[in-house]
Amino acid sequence: MTRKITIMLMISLLAISVAAQDMAVTIYNSNLGVISEIRPLEFDQGIGRLAFRDVPSKIDPASVRFEVTDANHKVAILEQNYAYDLVSPDQLYAKYLDNQIELINEQGTLYTGDLLAYSSGAVTLRELSGRVKIIQMDNITETNFPLLPDGLITRPTLFWEYQSDQAGTFDCQVSYQTGGMTWEAEYVGLLDQNETKLDLSGWASINNTSGKTYHDAKLKLIAGDIHRAEKKHDQGLAEFGRMTMAAATPGFQEKAFFEYHMYTLPRSATLADKEMKQISLFEPASTGVEKIYYYRPHRSATDVQVVIECVNSKETGLGMPLPAGRVRIFKADDDGSMILLGEDRLDHTPQDEEISLTIGNAFDIKGEETILKQTRISKKVEDREFEIELRNHKSEDVIVRVEKRLWGFFEVTQSSHEYNRKDARTLAFEIPVKAKSETKVRFTVRFTTR
């Protein structure tokens, strides 16, 4: 049976919980939200105290900024206290140790006494007679506490001691940072039947676990990696609850801002606490892509990766700053059903930069690397002969890009195929492999130690 907890008290503290007239929310990729809101607040002339309620439980109190919007009125915050010791059954029992409470069971029996101990299963009371009684909580339906203990509040609150030049209700702008807010781009790509064209759509996936709901807010998203000073304690992200997806309405408007990119929603949005919301990031776009096979023996001895590559340019059909996020690639089967081919993570990608997405490993193409010979030329010089075998079990010809990672000071003295240096440590080959056949690449590398 549901237990009932009753507190016989009228709370007399001045509490301001007026809804914000103007709410703006800016969310970053790094578990950070910046909130700016305008509320009408009532002040007495001189020094006073008020409670600024309806703040997120993960607020950073040190980041609070306050000002009266009307320059003719002057209000100064002299002292701020952030109270977050919230009312809960466990807190009430803990605060009432050595104080009198009342318990009522299913039969209506009343137990009264000083609370000596409490656990989830039992309560220990000292009755007026001095007798100590342990009461099992399974049979208790109601607990009565005479007063709300000092320090307990119903929701996180900023308590301000202020000095005002006059009495009245003034519009005040309050801004602050909070944890528990983050966003990430989510992309869905549909590959055409020829595997040469990709239809790409993007969503902003916003997760709010800050402990507050933001109604009808002006929403901005910042894409980029901002530098933040280390904090000694990180509250982290809680699991989100429900998920909502916005209707197909105009998405975000993008622009460069400082060294980042800002995405502004041209309409208001409500961000409920413990909710993940998804809003269209941009209109779906189509781009030409190339499917490439990579064999990188330093990553896998036998696997050949399948990679989709394109250029983020207007000429190819994209040409927009793409914030970091997960990309899922699908292809339609003959019956129209969507098959997931794979997924990868996209870094922040400016316009005109290359995009490379690893989709998976080719089932019918394998590689194998062997060191055929090691020859010591001198104390500091050694030759190694490598062989890379590529096996194509497909019914079509393919080209496999081989990237061989080397080390130290080296030069290639012999090679069966043309190559180029991708960088100071990597040799790159493009090897044609005919259907149902194999191709072997041999090359000799001279290593010199200094």
Please report where in the chains the tokens 């509250």 appear, as a residue: 235
395 exposed, middle or buried (CB, 10 Å; 0-12, 13-18, 19+)? exposed
Whole-angstrom Cα distance, residue 50 to residue 42? 8
Per-residue pLDDT band for 97 (boundaries 50, 70, 90) equals confident
Domains and CATH numbers, the chain: 89-145 (2.30.30.100), 365-448 (2.60.40.290)
Q: What is the pLDDT, as a whole number, of residue 45?
A: 95
Q: Is the pLDDT of residue 126 over 80?
A: yes
* Position with higher pLDDT, 327 vs 245: 327
CB 164 within 8 A of CB 73: yes
Q: Is the pLDDT of residue 5 over 60?
A: no
Per-residue pLDDT band for 147 (boundaries 50, 70, 90) equals confident
> pLDDT digits over 238-265, tens only?
343 455 544 445 578 889 898 899 999 9
Q: What is the pLDDT, as a whole number, of residue 85?
A: 61
User: 33: closest CA among 237, 250, 268, 257?
Assistant: 237
Beta-carbon count within 10 A of 121 CB: 9
Q: Could you say which DSSP state residue 229 is in? A: -
User: 149: closest CA among 79, 102, 89, 103?
Assistant: 89
Model-level pTM? 0.75
What average pLDDT does the structure give for the chain?
88
Q: What is the pLDDT, as a whole number, of residue 231?
A: 60
CB proximity list for 239: less than 8 A, separation 6 or greater: 209
Q: What is the pLDDT, as a whole number, of residue 228?
A: 80
Token pair of 290 as six digits: 């190339």
Q: Could you say which DSSP state residue 137 is in? A: G
Q: What is the pLDDT, as a whole number, of residue 285?
A: 93
Q: Is the pLDDT of residue 350 over 70?
A: yes
Q: How many CA atoms lie within 13 A of 187 on its CB side?
A: 25
Beta-carbon count within 10 A of 162 CB: 19
* Position with higher pLDDT, 206 vs 230: 206
Beta bridge mates, 444: 385, 414
For β-strands 157-164 and 290-295, DSSP reports them as unpaired
CB proximity list for 102: less than 8 A, separation 6 or greater: 110, 111, 112, 143, 144
Per-residue pLDDT band for 119 (boundaries 50, 70, 90) equals confident
Per-residue pLDDT averaged across 160-173, rounded? 94
Per-residue pLDDT averaged across 150-170, rounded? 84
* Position with higher pLDDT, 429 vs 145: 429
User: 184: closest CA among 234, 229, 228, 237?
Assistant: 237
DSSP string of 342-372, one letter each residue: EEEEEPPB-TT-EEEEEEEEEEEEEEEEEEE
Whole-angstrom Cα distance, residue 333 to residue 340? 10
Whole-angstrom Cα distance, residue 148 to residue 34? 33
Q: Is the pLDDT of residue 370 over 50?
A: yes
Q: What is the pLDDT, as a whole number, of residue 152?
A: 54
Q: Could you say which DSSP state residue 271 is in? A: E
**391-394: long-range contacts (C-beta < 8 A, 24 or more apart)?**
391/365, 391/366, 391/367, 391/433, 391/438, 392/364, 392/365, 392/433, 392/434, 392/435, 392/436, 392/437, 392/438, 392/439, 393/364, 393/365, 393/366, 393/436, 394/364, 394/365, 394/435, 394/436
> pLDDT digits over 262-297, tens only?
999 999 999 999 999 999 998 889 999 999 999 999
Q: What is the pLDDT, as a whole number, of residue 150?
A: 65
Q: What is the pLDDT, as a whole number, of residue 141?
A: 87
Per-residue pLDDT averaged across 135-163, rounded? 82
What is the three-class DSSP state of 320? coil
Alpha carbon separation from 155 to 65, 296, 310 (Å, rounded): 20, 56, 50
CA angle, 23 as apex, 20 and 29 as ends, to 5°?
Answer: 140
Q: What is the pLDDT, as a whole number, of residue 16?
A: 39
Whole-angstrom Cα distance, residue 18 to residue 303? 61
